Amino acid sequence: MCGIVGYIGGRSAVPILMSGLKRLEYRGYDSAGVSVLKNGDIEQLKAKGKLSILSSILKDKPLRSRIGIGHTRWATHGAPSDENSHPHMDCKKEISLVHNGIIENYLTLRQELEEKGHKFLSETDTEVLVHLIEEYYEGNLEQAVSKALKRLEGSYAIGVICKKEPGKIVAARQDSPLVIGLGKNENFIASDIPAFLPFTRKVKHINDGEIVILKRNSVRIFDLDLNPVEREVTTVHWDASMAEKGGYKHFMLKEIFEQPRVVTDMLSGRLKEYSVEIEEMKLTDDDLRKINKVIIIACGTAFHASMVGKYFIEDFARIPVEIDVASEFRYRNPVVDENSLVVAVSQSGETADTLVSFKNAIAMGAKSIAVTNMVGSSITRETENMIFTRAGLEIGVAATKTFIAQLVAIFLLSLKLGVARGTIDKEKFREYHEALLRIPDQLSDVLKKAEQIRNIARKYYKCDDFLFLGRSLSYPIALEGALKLKEISYIHAEGYAAGEMKHGPIALIDNLVPTVVVLPRDSVYEKTLSNVKEVRARSGITIGITNKTDDPLDEYLDETIFVPDTSHQLSPILTTIPLQLLAYYIADKRNRDVDQPRNLAKSVTVE
Shortest distance in whole angstroms from residue 180 CB to ligand AGP? 36
Q: Which of 440, 400, 449 is nearest to 560 (CA)?
A: 449
Of 301 and 566, the one with the shorter C-beta distance to ligand AGP is 301
Of 200 and 389, the one with the shorter C-beta distance to ligand AGP is 389
Q: What is the DSSP string of 325-372?
A: EHHHHTTS-----TTEEEEEEESSS--HHHHHHHHHHHHTT-EEEEEE
Shortest distance in whole angstroms from residue 576 CB to ligand AGP? 12
Of 97 and 370, the one with the shorter C-beta distance to ligand AGP is 370
Shortest distance in whole angstroms from residue 603 CB to ligand AGP? 5
Shortest distance in whole angstroms from residue 275 CB to ligand AGP? 28
Of 189 and 491, the one with the shorter C-beta distance to ligand AGP is 491
371, β-bridge pairs:
345, 387
Phi-psi sector, 322: left (phi>0), alpha (psi -120 to 50), beta: beta
Q: How far apart are CA 95 and CA 256, in angstroms?
A: 37
HEC string of 29-91 equals CCEEEEEEEECCEEEEEEEECCHHHHHHHHHHCCCCCCEEEEEEECCCCCCCCCCCCCCEECC
Of 112 and 382, the one with the shorter C-beta distance to ligand AGP is 382
Shortest distance in whole angstroms from residue 160 CB to ligand AGP? 35
User: Is it true that the peptide bond before 87 is cis, omega within 30 degrees of 0?
Assistant: yes
Return residues touching ligand AGP (CB under 6 A).
299-302, 346-348, 351, 354, 397-399, 487, 603-604
Of 183 and 300, the one with the shorter C-beta distance to ligand AGP is 300
Strand ranges across the sheet with 169-174: 88-89, 95-100, 156-162, 169-174, 210-214, 219-223, 228-229
Q: Which residues are catalytic?
A: 2, 602
Shortest distance in whole angstroms from residue 249 CB to ligand AGP? 18
Using CB atoms within 10 Å of the CB of residue 448, give its burial: 0 to 12 exposed, 13 to 18 middle, 19+ buried. exposed
Phi-psi sector, 591: left (phi>0), alpha (psi -120 to 50), beta: left
Shortest distance in whole angstroms from residue 303 CB to ligand AGP? 8
Of 277 and 593, the one with the shorter C-beta distance to ligand AGP is 593
Of 357 and 528, the one with the shorter C-beta distance to ligand AGP is 357
Q: Which of 253, 248, 259, 242 is nearest to 193 (CA)?
A: 242
Contact 271, 219 (CB under 8 A): no
Shortest distance in whole angstroms from residue 301 CB to ligand AGP? 3
Shortest distance in whole angstroms from residue 222 CB to ligand AGP? 42
**Which residue's beta carbon is nearest to the bound ligand AGP?**
300
Q: How far apart are CA 375 and CA 75, in angstroms?
A: 6
Q: Which of 480, 467, 488, 481 is nearest to 299 (CA)?
A: 480
Of 30 and 142, the one with the shorter C-beta distance to ligand AGP is 30
H/E element, 439: helix 426-447
Tally the residues of the chain.
Answer: 607
Q: How far apart are CA 178 and CA 189, in angstroms?
A: 7
Output the CA angle 591-241-21, nearest 5 degrees: 140
Q: How far apart are CA 579 and CA 37, in angstroms?
A: 50
Residue 139, classed as helix, strand or coil, is: coil
Strand ranges across the sheet with 187-190: 41-48, 31-38, 67-73, 3-8, 187-190, 179-182, 202-205, 234-235
H/E element, 285: helix 285-290
Q: How far apart are CA 476 and CA 572, in angstroms?
A: 9
H/E element, 3: strand 3-8
Of 399 and 518, the one with the shorter C-beta distance to ligand AGP is 399
